[in-house]
Structure 1
Amino acid sequence: MYRLMLVDDEYAVRRHVIDRIDWHQYDFDIVCQAENGKEAYELFEQYLPDVVITDIKMPFVDGLELSEKILKKYPYTKIIVLTGFDEFEYAKKSINLHIMNYILKPVSANSLIEILEDVKVKLDEEIKQKRDIERLREYYQKSLPMLRDKFLEDFVKGEYLFNQVEEWLSYYLIPLKGKFYIVSVIQIDNFYKESQSIDTKETEFKKMALLELVEEVNKKEDLGIYFLSNNQVIIISQDNLNSENVFLQSVTRKLEMIRQGIVRYQTFTITIGVGHVCKSLEEIPNSRKGALSALDYKLITGNNQIIYINDLEHNEIVTLEFNEFDGRRVVRMLKSSAVNEFHEFIDHIFMLVSSCHKMHENQLYLFELVTQMIITAKELKIDLSKIEETEFNLFKLLGEDQQVDQLKNKILCLGEYIMEAGAKSRQITTANLVTLAKAYVEEEYMDWALSIQKICEYLNYSPNYFSSVFKKETGQAFMNYLMDRRLEAAKELLLTTEMKSLEVALEVGFSSSNYFAYCFKRHLNVSPMQYRKDNICL
């Protein structure tokens, strides 16, 4: 069933349109009606109908202005314009608004049904296209290589938990199960310098030529898994049979084939950084860091080289660094109360702490971790003074000789407290939500720009959810409640002050005296000035 809104300033026209058709028979449900474009847009944002049938000539905001405003923010909405014969040429000029169709008044049931059936077909087709499983499957298959490379790129950057990696490797059918692993990074020499002066096609050609040669060597020599990342070719090599030294010699020989091939067949050169040999998938990101560090030594060794990091730096297999990814993840887990994921994250971190023998790195990482947790608690307005001997004493604990398990438990305790307190703060009852909304209206009803969108941004709820709760609790739509509050304030000012109609209108949140007079008379069946005259005389 598609939702439909009807907009016309004449009640008789709206009734005529509504009564002439069995809307449900054609899969449409009239969810709201409006008398003018301003009211219509407010109701549109509340109900988000699929189809709008609107008159052109209306007070305050006409049908074409309304259509333009809706389509600018909600381009998938279908709009049908009702127009008189004298307006038809004017209406046709708005064809660039992509309005679905026009109906001449007086509206006949047959012409409207014909257009509605056409609209329904188009809506059905759009939904079918979005939900077309075969089409999505085909699109997914085409996207799979790109998704695979994106996963590998994030994996070598260390942006996956160890227990997630094997699952994703299996999902993308990536055969990565070895006794030893090593990461190599191939960089085109002078690439960034030349890319500023050489045609883009030329730089892209260099990358494609390099990838083609890597693929050729890989087919002959089983070099490993490779992909393009940030204009560099990343290679993950593995070995199940040989010793570490034999494995490294084999990888170096294959990389040399690539380097020599580029020198022989191309007009550019490459430099290859080789990381540390490692023994687990978990250590692969550190091997990549080593390969990138090796490339930093190009200034010393020169270009067109294979640089092995172990020749230049001591191999520290496990290093800890609280990076931006860790920070974002901690914030997300705490704010979403992801308890199980937080426990897995802390287990993983303390496994690395046990493996890393650089005490200062361990302490620095944990300091930054705890600092991020406390900052997040502050953002959530959580009072940490209520948690006994856990939060701020952690800084003291981190500077002392403590058992790893004790530190781990303290950090878990802090995290659980933040997540539990955050979850409780989000559990505002519907009654409280309405109370907060009414209080906000009391403070802000004088603001002519106050809308459902604005109050929902303040309350941090979606417009649909808020509208549903407010109507359920109060028995009326929010915009009707706001209108009633403004009119009550206007009535009071009319009887207790000598303010002019325009002054009253602006004081209580109407953008113009005309719209104020229109709404006042519509609700009270009398004009503002007549209301003052009748009641003051009493």
Structure 2
Amino acid sequence: MYSIFLVDDEEMGLEMMRDYIRWEEMGIYVVGTASNGREALEKIEAFQPDIILTDVQMPIMNGIELAKKIHECYDHMQIMFLTGHDEFHYVKSALNVGAVGYLLKPLDLTEIESVIEKVKARCEEVQMKQRSMEAAKTKILKELSFEKNAEQAAELANNFNRLTRLPESNRYTMALFSIDPKEAEGEQQSLEECMSRLISYLDHFFKAKNIEVVFVPYKDGETGVFMEATQQPGYYAWEDLAVAIRSALDFTVTAAVGALAAELALVHNLYKQTRVILNERFYKGTGLIIHAVAISNQFDSEHMPPFERKEWFEAINQLDFEQAAQKLHQYFVGLATLRIKKKIICNWAIDLVDELLEQLHQSVPEGFKRAELYHSIYNALTLHEIEDLILGTAGDAVSMLGERLMDKNTKLVHKVRTVIEQNYDQPITINSLSDQVYLSPNYLRSIFKDKTGITIHDYLTRIRLDKAKELLADGSLKIQDIAQRVGYESTSYFISLFLKNLGVTPNEYRKNI
């Protein structure tokens, strides 16, 4: 649909035009109204309508003056005049200032529909011309982004200036927007769909600020935004845009805002700078607006600082994942500060993962093939992603070691239980048991309680008393003999233990069998 702006100094006539003409049936919607030319000019600047229908005779600024000013500023807007029969001599003046049609008062619906169809056809022609011009501007700016030959660049710049009728001395700035790849991955939307939504949002943002921009596509998921240097938004406007994008879009975008201003022939310098700024995403993370100041006076280092590798592996072997994660994070903070080159960090990360897998005697970590892991590290968009990939492998290692330790402890506890069940009639102490499984008494107590839910002493007591209950069924055996057969030299201690655990004495238990 096309938008129309209505101007008439007669309030009733303005309301009638706005409310009673069936604009929507003609593919038109009313974007705003004004009662004189001056008011209309202010609102037209904000609303940017496709069509303007204005009365000729108005106070403050008449329709002819309004049309002249509109054509000075907006060559795409189509103007229609509204005039009475006694004002018909104004029609010639109206057509001289570029009016595409006129309507006579009182308005006739059939006449309105006829004129509107002609105006819509003109609007379509204008839009096609604009699209063609935008495509040509985009093509030239993209070629200029890579053209370093001075003569070729100058020729391209001349073509651009002839197309736009802008002064050759104009200087331009650039911002480079990139959809963060991992954020755009998903079944619901393609990278192309995300880019279309991003450009639509940016177009709305810049139009709201009356900034004319040209979008230039580069790599998949990237678009350059060119504008005249005098129109470039300030720092806080860019930051507001970053917040707005995070709120409006369901994927993240990182942008590099250049600080250079250059004539068209030197556009390749603008592109080169924003490309360098965008690479800062590796250190700073995604979803940000990165300014040129972020890379000023910074030097990349090729030397990795020392890493407490021994302590890190000890934390993993002790199943202390939090400690391992903390040590790694502190190290990566240092890497970002020193700005170690990505390739060097990737090689170091792969070497660390290799050593971890070798210590586990595991060629493939759970859920990952080694080659896929290496590929993910080399293709990581940010330093944080590499840290997460290492931590993911470390987490798998801790889980694997924990399972191995759990299996080992289960076997040890089973051995202790077997020793107790086979030797309950002999003197058994925690020291004698720990000697048989080569563990300290305290550690043996801990893992036995962890695996069985009871202490070794309670388990030994249970086994002995269960055997004593079996022996009590034999009436020929004395209580003293039964106590000795289940490992108790003191008969009184046996009786008190039996009473404490079963609630009756051995003799009372025997009577109830």
Task: Compare CA radii of gyration and give the structure with the larger one.
Answer: 2
The TM-score with structure 1 as length reference comes to: 0.30
